[in-house]
Structure 1
């Protein structure tokens, strides 16, 4: 299970794909929804994407070859 999570967490293209999918389709629909639960889910997904981006940036700046 760790390899299923670890592999995309260390690659840039899955992050970019998920970010574009969120910004283009999912995010606006969830955040502007009438349901409170949908808005909360949209904000949680946004927070997860921000955390993922932070980890990628931190890894990119601290990676030693």
Structure 2
């Protein structure tokens, strides 16, 4: 599991795919839901995407070839 997370943390295309799915389908439904737990899940998923994007940006700016 740790290797999968490490692999995903350093790849751009899975992040872009997850971001498009979240913005297009999942995010609007969860954040505008009438259930409090659904809204919290939507916000947690958004926070995870932000953290993943931060890791990718940090790696992009500090990566030395």
Moved over 2 A (4+): none
Task: Using CA pairs under 8 Å that are at least 6 residues apart, name the structure with larger relative contact order, 1 or 2.
Answer: 2
Partner of 1:54: 54
Q: Structure 1 regions of 5+ residues with no counterpart?
A: none
Q: How many residues align structurally?
A: 65
Q: TM-score, normalised by structure 2?
A: 0.97
Distance 1:63 1:34 in 2: 43
CA displacement at 1:8 relative to structure 2: 1.1
